[in-house]
Structure 1
């Protein structure tokens, strides 16, 4: 079924390779978040409620989970670079469909497809872990993840600015153009990694269930990651609605500018990876989940304060991202021959959590406005801490 050795010698991870992977990860993952600062404008153009517009963000995340479930395991079975090159064609097509959507239903479909195809980062992160030296794996994962996280946050800044000055459709056209340029860069600069897995696709998919059953640390990482990402999705989906309220009267460009603030937290990702390399992963995670809880306490006190929201964003992004780095460093240490499948189980669960947080926060906003959103964030973050602490106590 699986061989313990690669079909060919593993290529060395050069600094250029690492930078290419990091930049590509950030640019591709940005596709998932362009819509969030634009939801108000989309809602107005199509004449739908804010909750309906919020479904765009939710379906993008669900699509990402579906894409990860069915595409990412192929990274253990097919040549990695070849798989990435094919997937880029589908990304460009999905972005163009969104740009030319004639109604909300077409945009919802396009959003799902953007999510389902923009899974390249989840092929590149395990690839970097695979090529890295064991003693540098946490730092390497943290470096690539810093690109991913900065891409997530700055995507909102870019799309908020473009949406305010050129319209929301222009952002998807620009995104498609960037993907074409990135395809060319990866074609010439990305190394190839040959698979270890020798079974069929059906056996490959069945092995996901076996991995989830046999690896308690994978289950722990997946659950606490999903709960923290639910907090992340809840905030970023509804922030634009809060900023449109009379106390702020701000547009999509201001909502997007919050991504610049959150990027400070993303810069800590590489440092968190180094701490995980030193064996402090569980301690780091306890602290990072506590930061997510603290951020929602700050948000609860900041419905009329831009400065309070700024502080809360920094604290939340640092907490969510540190938890994510710790989780991925943990799972990539479990089974080297199955890193893409381990990442699939983790990331599918992670984005289901994000979709749940997005949906619940949209509904909470509709009924209770910002107070409801804060309640959703506190619920998920406290649950994450309880799951984490309970596991630690059971395994002392």
Structure 2
């Protein structure tokens, strides 16, 4: 177990560094999404074949969640953040110099596996924060995380247009290294920690899921939320560029920046979690997202309603994230790395399912089919709102 001394309590400087580092590093997972076209052109292949780079990033991140994050309960997290940031920067530079599409996919996948720094920082912040302010502190880091996700696609596309796609990875490598090492200096050393065998860390994961009903409910709630979010977010550009709206691809990409409103509201959401508890706020997030999906369905023929729904969807998702991740990590703060592994794996796998279902639903039933699928996912999420028997 780690003993946190009073001198190691959360400071404003560390919180700012953690939020910035989360935003910079999480962007590495999404860099390739808007530049598949230029990558395909350079390697003389189709965009569909080049999308293996995006798939490799997602698979790599999943592997990192499972295999790297649990080490945060045993290894000094200060050293982990610095080491992973340096390794990620090297791998991104390898991607920038990749001579072939398979090599690029390999480097991107490995970089995604080591860019799990945000999921080390969130349990760290949760452990260092005072219990009455834990939700607020976590929400600042989540705000940085969400900003990185929303902005990365726009910046990546613009940078590729100006300098070429290889420079996207060069700039990302430089930012990851600089911000990662700066954040490492802001993190207090963990000090003496009980040695835990790596295999034992991984074997303990199913036990936590079996024995902790609060953790199971939090995972179920946000898995449904994130699946619904990805179902609509993956297909959003398709409905925006189709009739009757007819936006350009560039205009559709900029519409996604409406999601930044949720990042601005994240600290307020965290305070609400501290005051009312995770279960109540999770219910609020579910309600907001349900209303947003209904607006999106109506917006199939109304751009105004569609834009309102687009702005509201990330707000509902972020509200749910702030509440449910708080609930998951407070089960046992000393095991925050393993609890976060379970929670994020459930979230990420559900998100992948939501993206797949959303794409199929759009192809068969159109935009209304996507919204219907999202509402089904939200109904599953609502099952997790039941109180845990004490």
Summarize the Cα distance change of 1:367–1:169 in structure 2 as closer, same or farther, 3 Å threshold: farther
Q: For this pair of structures, how many residues does the alignment match? A: 388
Q: Distance in 1 between matches of 2:354 and 2:160?
A: 24
Judge conservation of contact 2:284–2:319 (CA < 8 Å) in 1: no
Q: CA RMSD in A?
A: 2.8
| CA apart distance, 1:14 | 1.6
What are the superposed Cα offsets for residues 366-392 of structure 1, whole Å, 9 maximum, x if unpaired? 44553443343233223212x224x23
Unaligned runs of 5+ in 2: none
Summarize the Cα distance change of 1:288–1:57 in structure 2 as closer, same or farther, 3 Å threshold: farther
Which stretch has the larger CA shift, 149-158 or 296-305?
296-305
Q: Distance in 1 between matches of 2:11 and 2:345?
A: 29
Q: Distance in 1 between matches of 2:306 and 2:41?
A: 25
Summarize the Cα distance change of 1:195–1:115 in structure 2 as closer, same or farther, 3 Å threshold: farther
User: Which residue of the partner structure matches residue 283 of structure 2?
Assistant: 286
Q: Distance in 2 between matches of 1:113 and 1:171?
A: 17
Q: Distance in 1 between matches of 2:346 and 2:289?
A: 19
From 277, 302, 327, give the equivalent of 2:274. Answer: 277
From 77, 80, 102, give the equivalent of 2:77. Answer: 80
| TM-score, normalised with respect to structure 2 | 0.88
Summarize the Cα distance change of 1:360–1:180 in structure 2 as closer, same or farther, 3 Å threshold: same
Judge conservation of contact 1:77–1:198 (CA < 8 Å) in 2: yes
From 66, 69, 80, give the equivalent of 2:66. Answer: 69
1:53-202 superposed matches below 5 A: 56-101=53-98, 104-194=101-191, 196-202=193-199
| CA apart distance, 1:143 | 1.5
Judge conservation of contact 1:129–1:332 (CA < 8 Å) in 2: yes
SS in 2 for 1:278: helix
- Structure with bigger RCO (C-alpha 8 Å, 6+ apart): 1
User: Which residue of the partner structure matches residue 222 of structure 1?
Assistant: 219
What are the superposed Cα offsets for residues 188-235 of structure 1, whole Å, 9 maximum, x if unpaired? 333322464432111111111111111011011112212211222233
Summarize the Cα distance change of 1:235–1:276 in structure 2 as closer, same or farther, 3 Å threshold: same
| CA apart distance, 1:41 | 5.3
Summarize the Cα distance change of 1:295–1:245 in structure 2 as closer, same or farther, 3 Å threshold: same
What are the superposed Cα offsets for residues 111-148 of structure 1, whole Å, 9 maximum, x if unpaired? 43233121000000111111111221111111221111
User: Which residue of the partner structure matches residue 384 of structure 1?
Assistant: 381
Are 1:248 and 2:267 an aligned pair?
Answer: no
Summarize the Cα distance change of 1:138–1:347 in structure 2 as closer, same or farther, 3 Å threshold: same
From 341, 344, 349, give the equivalent of 1:344. Answer: 341
From 355, 358, 365, give the equivalent of 1:358. Answer: 355
| CA apart distance, 1:86 | 1.6
Summarize the Cα distance change of 1:265–1:220 in structure 2 as closer, same or farther, 3 Å threshold: same
User: Which residue of the partner structure matches residue 314 of structure 1?
Assistant: 311
Q: Distance in 2 between matches of 1:145 and 1:309?
A: 25
| CA apart distance, 1:182 | 1.6
Summarize the Cα distance change of 1:280–1:135 in structure 2 as closer, same or farther, 3 Å threshold: closer
| CA apart distance, 1:297 | 2.2
Judge conservation of contact 1:295–1:312 (CA < 8 Å) in 2: yes
Summarize the Cα distance change of 1:256–1:290 in structure 2 as closer, same or farther, 3 Å threshold: same
Unaligned runs of 5+ in 1: none
Q: Distance in 2 between matches of 1:319 and 1:245?
A: 26
Summarize the Cα distance change of 1:290–1:8 in structure 2 as closer, same or farther, 3 Å threshold: closer
| CA apart distance, 1:241 | 4.0
| CA apart distance, 1:262 | 0.5
Q: Distance in 2 between matches of 1:286 and 1:151?
A: 26
SS in 1 for 2:236: helix
Which stretch has the larger CA shift, 293-302 or 117-126?
293-302
1:16-35 superposed matches below 5 A: 16-35=13-32
| TM-score, normalised with respect to structure 1 | 0.87
